[in-house]
Amino acid sequence: MVDLPRLFYKDLILEPTISHNNVYWRSVKSCTNERNKLNRLFVINDIINLIIMLNSNVFSFLKEIKQNNNREWFQANKPFFDDANRNVKLCAQQLFEELKLRNDLDDYKVFRIYRDVRFSKDKSPYKNHFGIAFHRQKPNFRGGYYLHITPDESFLGIGFWGPSKDDLFRIRKEIEMYPDEFEAVVTEKRLIKNFGVLQGEQLKKAPKGFDPTHPGINYLRFKQLIFIQKIGDQQLMNDSFSDWMEHQFEVIRPFLNYMSEILTTDFNGAPLP
Tens of pLDDT, residues 15-55: 555 544 454 555 566 666 655 655 555 555 544 445 567 88
Of 3-12, 95-104, 132-141, the least confident: 3-12
CATH 3.30.1460.10 assigned to 51-263:
yes
Query: Is it the case that residue 231 has pLDDT exceeding 90?
Result: yes
Query: Is the distance from CB of 214 to CB of 206 less than 8 angstroms?
Result: yes
pTM above 0.85, yes or no: no
Domains of the chain by residue range: 1-50, 51-263
Question: What count of Cα atoms within 13 Å lies in the side-chain half-sphere of residue 185?
Answer: 20
Give the chain's length.
Answer: 273
Average pLDDT over residues 167-193: 97
pLDDT range class, residue 7, cuts 50, 70, 90: very low
Q: What is the b/e burial string over 210-223, where b = at least 16 CB atoms within 10 angstroms of the residue's CB?
A: beeeeebbebbbbe
Long-range contact set of residues 117-126: C-beta below 8 Å, sequence gap at least 24: 124/69, 125/69, 125/70, 125/71, 125/74, 126/65, 126/69, 126/74
For the chain, the straight-line distance linking the first and the last C-alpha, in angstroms and rounded, comes to 36
Q: Are 95 and 156 in contact (CB under 8 A)?
A: no
